[in-house]
Amino acid sequence: MGRLLRSGDTVLLSGDLGSGKTVFVQGIARGMGFPGSVSSKSFVLLGEYQGRECKLYHADLFRLEAPEQAEELSVDEYCADGVMVAEWPERAPHVFPPDHVSVTFEVTGERTRALMLEAEGERSRELLEPLASRAPASRGR
Ligand SMILES: Nc1ncnc2c1ncn2[C@@H]1O[C@H](COP(=O)(O)OP(=O)(O)OP(=O)(O)O)[C@@H](O)[C@H]1O
Ligand SMILES: [Mg+2]
């Protein structure tokens, strides 16, 4: 996915604590050409990483106190300026663009996870197309 993402794309990650969201962001960073490590954003709400073609913004809204706080963070401006990948987007769903990919993480065992990828909007469907053909169970959505 990291290799397919372009500036302006948004990916929203949902799943329980410890289900693998930050590990997934690390993989996206690698695919975008950022060689370093992506930290878990326990206190900082937004991380910024320089990829080959554009920036990766990693938002973690777990500690957001109120949805209005996300507006103060100007999440929408970051979404337009690079790739936005957000953990806990449910804390402020209204700040994200309508065209986005949602990834839902399920803990299926101590060392296994099941991921469901869904596209909302034209660009996001196009983005998932090459991945869908490789998925174990694709519903073509
Ligand atoms: N795809 C995976 N397969 C197996 N284990 C995984 C996978 N992804 C993550 N893990 C395990 O789950 C642990 C927690 O992952 P991670 O920190 O990415 O969770 P998170 O969803 O970001 O949690 P939080 O909501 O607290 O930020 C990792 O340290 C790793 O051991
Ligand atoms: Mg995390």
Predicted pLDDT of residue 133: 80
- 120 phi and psi angles, rounded to 5 deg: -120, 110
What is the percent of the chain where pLDDT is above 70? 94
Can you name the CATH fold of 10-132? Rossmann fold (3.40.50)
Please give the radius of gyration of the chain, using alpha carbons only, rounded to the nearest integer.
14
**Ligand found nearest the CA of 19:** 1
Which residue stretches of the chain are H helix? Answer: 21-31, 67-72, 75-81, 122-132
Mean pLDDT across 121-125 = 98
Kindly report the protein residue whose alpha carbon is nearest to atom 7 of ligand 1: 20
Contact between residue 60 and residue 87 where contact means Cβ atoms under 8 Å apart: yes
Find the 138 Cα to ligand 2 centroid distance in Å.
26
β-bridge pairing 83-87 and 100-109: unpaired
Domain residue extents for the chain: 10-132
Strand, coil or helix: 31:
helix
Q: Which of 38-47, 73-82, 106-115, 120-129 has the lowest mean pLDDT?
A: 38-47
Produce one character per residue of 99-115: b if its CB has 16 or more CB atoms within 10 Å, e if not.
Answer: bbbbbebeeeeeeeeee
Predicted pLDDT of residue 39: 86
pLDDT per residue over 76-94, tens digit each? 899 999 999 999 999 999 9
pLDDT of 55 strictly over 90: yes
Residues in the chain: 141
